[in-house]
Structure 1
Amino acid sequence: MSSPAASFAAALQAARAAVGAQEYPRASLYLVPTPLGNLGDVTLRALHVLQLADRIACEDTRHTQALLRAYGIDAPADRLLPVHQHNEAEAAQQVVARLQAGERVAYASDAGTPAVSDPGARLVAAVQAAGLRVIPLPGPSSVTTVLSAAGSIREGGFVFHGFLPAKAGERESAVQALAREDRAVVLLEAPHRIAAMAQSLAMLGARPVTVGRELTKQFEQVATMPCADLPAWLAADAQRTRGEFALVLHAIEPVADEGAGERVLRVLLPEVPLKTAVKLAADITGGPKNALYDLALRLKQAD
């Protein structure tokens, strides 16, 4: 059986042939998405930049070195710069100094797209503040992957929330706030906290949630159920609490009867500001705020 590095030899050649002619400016920070788990999800452009970069900044140098070796990319220790949540502010200045010296620096998270929920945002801000260029590469993302499987994007888009608070009281307050959000909401969670998260989400009752576990990996699971059923679904199989999680709270479907919202808004709009009228109408009718806001605007314009 061939090694992973041997398997990707053709991909490295294809990367150079396909994207090598593009300009790759020096003194630039390249944000390089890495696979969520399946090595085959890396892009040709990512492979080329990882070969080309003078330095590769990363969350965990051991993890990134193993990834680079799997692709057959030379990764001596002096090419790797640790940039993680505990040293990001200080390490960002080291990266800025290297960029100012004319180096190309790639930043790769452990998995997925950097600077979304993983470290990297402070690094990007520091590079931009220094007047240097940031070049983002598209690629793997747990956010877009789980959204595509949920089928719950409606007019108005979605909200990326990320990780809920670790403390129970703060987490439940956050979930109560999400209950009033009528757009789809993307959440992330670690295996050691997924059971507690499920208990908090259960208060949302019948609202559907899509769970993506171990996305792109061998034991990937994608399942949709009412939030109230999530704790029992996890408890039914010990394997279901293992791995990394990305979840989508589904968008709240608009109420079929717009008449109730209109009747309430016609009473409220002459008496209170538009935003207050929309909030009260949503509380009274249970209708989605976005749809009621659009309706309120139309009623105002008609008057």
Structure 2
Amino acid sequence: MKSVLIFARQARNNWRPIFIRTVKPRGRRMPKQRRIRVKVCLVGDCGVGKTSLIRRFIHSEFEDRYIPTPSTAVSKVELLFPTNHDSEIMLEMDLWDITGQSAFRKFLSDAYFCNATSIVAVCDASRTETLHELEDWISAGREIAGGVQTHTLANKTDLERNPVMNDPMLKQIANKYDAPFYFVSAKTGLNVDFAFQTIAEMILKEILSKLDEKEAVMKKEWEILDTIVKRGKLGASKEYFFTTMKGIAFDTLRSYIDRLEEKGYLRVTWNDATSFIAFATEAGVERAKLGPERIEDEVIDTVV
């Protein structure tokens, strides 16, 4: 699949399918697809072009008329990323276009930024005042969403006058929020695809890093649980684990045992602070039957 489709885009506007095309290589098994859904919030003053940037990215179109966003509009774009020879990730990006009315910023509710994966702050490259307002927009969003990835787009670089490019505030915002800066034009399409694709790649990279860490933990949990299940009525003691799992530290082992017990998979008897014997519950036996191959599918729900 990777040799046939390196990067594909499927777009939807307000949840209505626009187009989709699937290519299946002859003589090859279709790769396993993992779907990850993320929320990206676009903020910035009125008239900076947030709606136009989304429209350019999704539909490759530009509307010269200014139509203010009344409150919030949500569009969806799906980006396909092959990861290896037998798997790929469909990244579902919900793009939240939040109105730029300054009065509205004071009343931003949790609903707009709750569970946001990234904030994209947009300014008008021809109006420095829109750049100076970005810090307030970013702060308002991060106050609810937490320290999520932040990116900044300076739109309308097609205009002859672009004072934002030399404004020291640009570098200040980029440094303070570790926010990459992109100069784009919704009108000409300059750097729009590049900016959004880079944002998507950075989001995915961060998620995959968390997935790898979580997957390693969950697989180790399964390994410990499976070991206890196989011991049956004999149970598994600390000494047994130290014999079968070379190099595992007691504190690490105890943290796994405690988590499995909290989930209801184990019944643990402690003889003293460092000596125990663990038995699998019925729920633990059923959990162990799932096998490590099922872990990967469960990990995404715990991270995204």
Question: Radius of gyration: which is bigger?
Answer: 2
TM range (shorter): under 0.3
TM-score by length of 1: 0.25
TM-score by length of 2: 0.24
Structure with the bigger percentage of strand: 2
